[in-house]
């Protein structure tokens, strides 16, 4: 007689990834989910709002929360980003603090350490970018950060190479509370495709314009239409704050916007697995960082 299948005990929970800007949270989220959902650039403050990345590990469904980097906020947009990051941590079953092990512990990370200590309870520490650091330095850093007892356990990982990430995943899966899965098995994110598509273009704007353009530029998908031949027609607007910035995004004889569009389109075609016709427009919208509607579009709290 065939044995009856054992009842499956499923687990499910939220894991917040927090840390100073540029610690590698979005890179790790993509690695944990096994697909590129979050954009990654060498610039600090790339991620603006919370983004869920959903993965299955054995019987567990893990809902990872990528958050904006936590830093001392000045402008309204900054405050909303930092509030979104802490909200992600406060709602989560487990919190992973990512620390860039290749750098000194800076004031941003210090501030996070203080708040975590004040909050009480345990968080997980992940020393990231270990591909860049010598082992003796890592051990010193781990001992220094773990001494006040806020962290248990400590992982040493590289989100970029994947080193150590499997161990972290297994630990997190076992730590999730028992319960039914909250999302369909094949769902990878809560973000609509239109939003991820806008982020792909913003990534190119950030990557291709380096320091020439302040980070106060944003991208919105305005139109998304399937054509009869199965291809997609996507229209997006890149918003900047001043006419001089518009000129920078367009570039000499439109070369820059062309190149941004070409790279973004290639990424979108790979991501969406079909042909994409991408139309980019650049508009000036003075001081969008104070505009309520833009905050709503980003899923941020204007009054944070």
Ligand X SMILES: Nc1nc2c(ncn2[C@@H]2O[C@H](COP(=O)(O)OP(=O)(O)OP(=O)(O)O)[C@@H](O)[C@H]2O)c(=O)[nH]1
Binding site for Mg ion (CB under 5 A): 25-26, 46-47
Binding residue for ligand X, selected from 11, 25, 36, 202, defined by CB under 6 A: 25
| Residue number, 199 or 220, with CB nearest to Mg ion | 199
Q: Rounded to the nearest 5°, which phi and psi values hold at 128?
A: -105, 165
Residue with tokens 């650039």: 41
| Residue number, 27 or 61, with CB nearest to Mg ion | 27
**90-119 positions binding ligand X, by CB under 6 A:** none
Alpha helices, H only, the chain: 25-33, 76-90, 107-119, 135-146, 165-175, 193-209, 243-250, 255-272, 292-298
Task: Check binding of 61 to ligand X (CB under 6 A).
Answer: no
Task: Check binding of 13 to ligand X (CB under 6 A).
Answer: no
**How many CB atoms are closer than 10 A to CB 296?**
11
Least distance between ligand X and beta carbon 31 (Å): 9
Binding residue for ligand X, selected from 12, 14, 15, 21, defined by CB under 6 A: 21
Judged by beta carbon distances under 5 to 8 A according to partner kind, the member of Mg ion, ligand X, none in contact with residue 159 is ligand X
| Residue number, 21 or 53, with CB nearest to ligand X | 21
**157-186 positions binding ligand X, by CB under 6 A:** 158-160
123: which strand partners? Answer: 151
Judged by beta carbon distances under 5 to 8 A according to partner kind, the member of ligand X, Mg ion, none in contact with residue 31 is none
155: which strand partners? Answer: 126
Count Cα neighbours of 13 within 13 Å in the Cβ-side half-sphere. Answer: 19
Distance from the first to the final alpha carbon of the chain: 62
């Amino acid at each position: 007689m065939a044995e009856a299948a054992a009842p499956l005990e499923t687990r499910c929970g939220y894991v917040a990834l927090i840390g100073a800007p540029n610690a590698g949270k979005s890179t790790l989220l993509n690695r944990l989910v096994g697909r590129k959902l979050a954009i990654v650039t060498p610039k600090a403050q790339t991620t603006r709002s919370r983004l869920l990345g959903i993965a299955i590990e054995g019987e567990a469904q893990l809902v990872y929360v990528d958050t904006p980097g936590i830093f001392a906020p000045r402008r309204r947009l900054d405050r909303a980003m930092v509030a979104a990051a802490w909200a992600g941590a406060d709602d989560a079953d487990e919190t992973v603090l990512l620390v860039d092990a290749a750098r000194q512990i800076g004031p941003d990370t210090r501030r996070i350490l203080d708040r975590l200590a004040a909050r009480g309870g345990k968080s997980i520490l992940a020393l990231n970018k270990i591909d860049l650091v010598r082992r003796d330095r890592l051990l010193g850093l781990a001992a220094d950060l773990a001494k006040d007892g806020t962290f248990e356990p400590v992982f040493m990982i590289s989100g970029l190479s994947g080193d150590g990430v499997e161990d972290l995943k297994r630990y997190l899966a076992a730590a999730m509370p028992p319960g039914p899965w909250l999302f369909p098995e094949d769902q990878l994110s809560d973000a609509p495709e239109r939003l991820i598509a806008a982020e792909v273009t913003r990534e190119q704007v950030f990557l291709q314009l380096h320091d020439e353009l302040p980070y106060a530029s944003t991208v919105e998908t305005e139109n998304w239409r399937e054509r009869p031949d199965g291809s997609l027609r996507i229209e997006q607007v890149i918003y900047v704050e001043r006419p001089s910035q518009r000129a920078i995004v367009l570039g000499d004889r439109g070369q820059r916007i062309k190149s941004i569009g070409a790279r973004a389109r290639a990424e979108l075609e790979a991501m969406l697995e079909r042909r994409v016709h991408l139309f980019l427009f650049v508009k000036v919208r003075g001081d969008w960082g104070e505009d309520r509607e833009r905050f709503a579009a980003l899923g941020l709290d204007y009054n944070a």
